Structure 1
Amino acid sequence: MILFTYPIRTAFTDRDLEMIRPVANIKSLEFTQSPIKLPFYFFIQFFQLLWFLPKTSQYLCFFGGYHSVLPVWFGKIFKIRCIIQAGGMDCINMPEIGYGNFRKKWLRKATTYSFKNCSLILPVADALIKQNYTYDSRISPKQGLLNLIPDLQTPVQVIPNGFDTEFWRDIGKTKEPLSFISVATGTSNPSRAIVKGYDLIEELAKNHPEWSFTLIGDSNYKSSLPNIKVFGKMKAQDLVEAYNTHRYYLQLSTSEGFPNSLGEAMACGCIPIGSAVGAIPEIIDSTGLILPQKDLALLQDLLSQFLLENPKEKSILARKRILDFFSYQLRQEKLTKALIEDKTVT
């Protein structure tokens, strides 16, 4: 049995559970993101791991952090394989914007211990291994695991996220010409809003009142601009509808691993506009616009030409990019192969 632990349940953890269940018996254990609850959850997790120990053939952790320390420790003590799926903030140190595991002393220690002592690391993007970050000049260019843990020896295999393109698809709705959409949770936290590029979106919306912007994921996010509409979390089917009525998807993040909403939107035919961070340039490639540096004037200059290009052609190419390189089947194949390489999986 595989024990799968994560700090909080998300659509991404549900997706990977769905991918793994056909090939292996897997049990999920949710941890916590609350600092106050940490001691209690460490206590609970210890006895959960002990209880399931006789049946456990592997540990799988979504992100490295506090929740991965005990699975890694149990793995070392009892010679059980432990894999960590690196996803973003666990490979980043950006105190300038209040982001990344490595900006906090004890979280840095927990993350470093986990990555140095696990059996295999499965990041969703090459940029999480090592990157020379240049998007925001305030932030240190040395990002990624090999920059933050120079003596890291753990094997690494990149497995990008994948999308169900039968579900995330163009359903033939009319897309408003100058409509922009972005999806992110937790953006009522000012630091999180900057991480997700909402500061740039606000400036863009202010300078272009004739454009419409839709921000989905946090109903508590506040904007004073009349051309910005804010919605809370949506069910997947409602998101499909939302993507299908907007022409452009904005992923102007200051930091990212592999943003799932970008892939979903592109699969639905949204034309992508993204920042040059994490896997965003790799996902978009030539199907959309890449902003090389965090600069509003530069963004507006690039958009002035980009918005004149053929949107129907770009929309088709965006979906094709996801179909060809980031399909659900491709991730499932690579993820399950990484897991079943250990012959003890049951």
Structure 2
Amino acid sequence: MGQILFIKPANSSFMIKDEGFLASQYEIKSFLYRYGNAWRHLRSLLALSVWLFRRLPAADVVFVWFADYHSWLPVLLSRLLGKKSLLVLGGYDVACVPEFNYGVFVRPFRGWCARRSMRNAGYLLPVAKAMIQEIAEQAGPIPGVILPTPTGYSSKMWFPQGDKNEKMVLTVSAGQDLNRLKIKGLDLFAATAEQCPDYDFVIVGLQGKARQALENLRISNLRLVGPLGIESLREYYQKANIYMQLSLREGLPNAVIEAMLCECVAIGSRSGGIPEAIGPAGFILDERTPQAAAAALRQAMAVAPELRSRSRHWAQSNFSEERRHATLRRLIEGHH
């Protein structure tokens, strides 16, 4: 096996985990494409072009995280030179929700970059099965192989410890703007808190205008906590009895799986990969309303002690790092 070229648009934790695993198994060269204004994109594209010109002839595999501005060129050149290409799709890159300015397909040229990337890639690796239909809707017929491959999570990093706060309901979402608040269903989470005054609702990670909007509601049983490091976040998962993910749009929700590994019982909307993440170990809303969420919450609270170990077992069995690593190894080495 020759070199793997690893191309990423950020240093997100799940990208770094894939990069670290591949580096432990193969010789890899990494490129960070920096996003920004038009001049930044032009500089990044020129730098990527030079890097590919130098590196691609000696490489065997090109591995790209997300279909976007940064992916179309390496995937195209891989196809022209007969190189294997793996393109990971996370959810935002198959989305088009113009009312919330959400998804790469909101902007025509950005959508073109993502569409060409998907059509030219040898392997598409969406993180959730639910994304297959969206790939077809946005990109049309795909010549390559589509293989849903969830991101992986460490049960040694995310684990239960101590007693649960029986009344605590948690959700986790980074973000600062009002569109993010609505996409992640935090307005519905807050409305559900108003419906259930006997429970303590906590949002971790919110900042800026989104946080201010929820603070202005002055809901007495809703507490807002800023971004946290892994250890502090894990303590919230360990304390929470219920985890709620009420998003309008979602790929595979990382926080749901982390929470389930810490033996939270999960409630989620029927959106994207949320039902896949929760599986038979939690509750899925058929309607995104405060009343439906409140009803599901009361039902979950009643059976939470019986479901905690099932939640962790489901997450361990279906979303382990080892399972993802085995899939990537098979694809890279030619077995699928």
* Fold conserved between structures, TM > 0.5: yes
Query: Is the Cα–Cα contact under 8 Å of residues 4 and 26 in structure 2 kept in the other structure?
Result: yes
TM norm structure 2: 0.91
Distance in 2 (CA, whole Å) between partners of 1:43 and 1:228 is 48
- CA apart distance, 1:307: 2.3
Q: Is residue 199 from structure 1 mapped to residue 174 from structure 2 by the alignment? A: no
Matched, 1:58 2:52: no
Deviation at 1:274, TM superposition (A): 0.7
1:334 counterpart residue number? 327
How big is each residue's C-alpha offset from its partner over 1:163-190, in whole Å with a ceiling of 9 and x where there is no partner? 111221112x22211211112222x111
Query: What are the residue-to-residue correspondences of 1:305-316 with 2, within 5 Å?
Result: 305-309=299-303, 311-316=304-309
Equivalent AA in structure 1 for residue 257 of structure 2: G
CA distance in 1, matches of 2:297, 2:241: 14
Equivalence for 1:21: 23
Could you say if the C-alpha distance between residues 15 and 207 of structure 1 is closer, same or farther in structure 2, counting changes exceeding 3 Å?
same
The two structures have a TM-score, normalised by structure 1, of 0.89
Counterpart AA for 1:176? N
* Shift of residue 300, structure 1, vs aligned partner: 2.0
Name the structure 2 match of 1:48: 51
Higher relative helix content:
2
1:119 and 2:122 are equivalent in the alignment? yes
Q: Is the 8 A contact 2:267 2:296 kept in 1?
A: no
- The alpha-carbon distance between structure 1 residues 270 and 304, as it changes in their structure 2 partners (threshold 3 A), is closer
- For residue 329 of structure 2, give the secondary structure of its aligned residue in structure 1: helix
Q: 1:85 aligns with which of 79, 83, 88?
A: 88
The answer to whether the 8 Å contact 2:192/2:291 transfers is: no
Runs of 5+ consecutive residues of structure 2 not aligned to the other structure: none
Letter in structure 2 aligned against 1:150: G
TM-aligned CA deviation for residue 276 of structure 1: 0.9
- Cα distance in 2, alignment partners of residues 250 and 280 from structure 1: 10
Judge conservation of contact 1:254–1:275 (CA < 8 Å) in 2: yes
C-alpha distance after superposition, 1:78-118 (max 9, x if no partner): 32222101110111222233222122111110000111111
Please give the secondary structure, in 2, of the residue aligned with 1:248.
strand
1:34 equivalent in structure 2: 36
Residue 149 of structure 1, aligned match among 130, 135, 139:
139
Q: Which digits, 9 at most, give the CA deviation of each residue in 1:306-330, with x for residues without a partner?
A: 3222x22111110011122221111
What is the distance in 1 between the residues matched to 2:180 and 2:130?
Answer: 20
Structure 1 residue 270 corresponds to structure 2 residue 276: no
SS at match of 1:61: strand
Tell me what 2:171 maps to. 182
Contact 1:91 1:129 in 2 (8 A): no
Q: What is the Cα deviation at residue 127 of structure 1?
A: 0.7
Alpha-carbon contact 1:175-1:245 (below 8 Å) kept: yes
Residue 160 of structure 2 is matched in structure 1 by: 170
SS in structure 1 at match of 2:70: helix
CA RMSD, 1 decimal = 1.8
Mapped to 1, the partners of 2:278 and 2:238 lie a distance apart of 18
How far the C-alpha of 1:149 sits from its partner, in A, is 2.1
List, as ranges, runs of 4+ consecutive aligned residues in structure 1 with deviation greater than 4 Å.
none
In 2, distance between residues paired with 1:57 and 1:297?
53
Of the candidates 4, 7, 14, which is equivalent to residue 5 of structure 1? 7
- For 2:10 and 2:116, the matched residues in 1 are separated by 20
Give the % identical residues: 27
Q: Distance in 2 between matches of 1:306 and 1:244?
A: 17
Deviation at 1:54, TM superposition (A): 4.2
Amino acid at match of 1:146: A
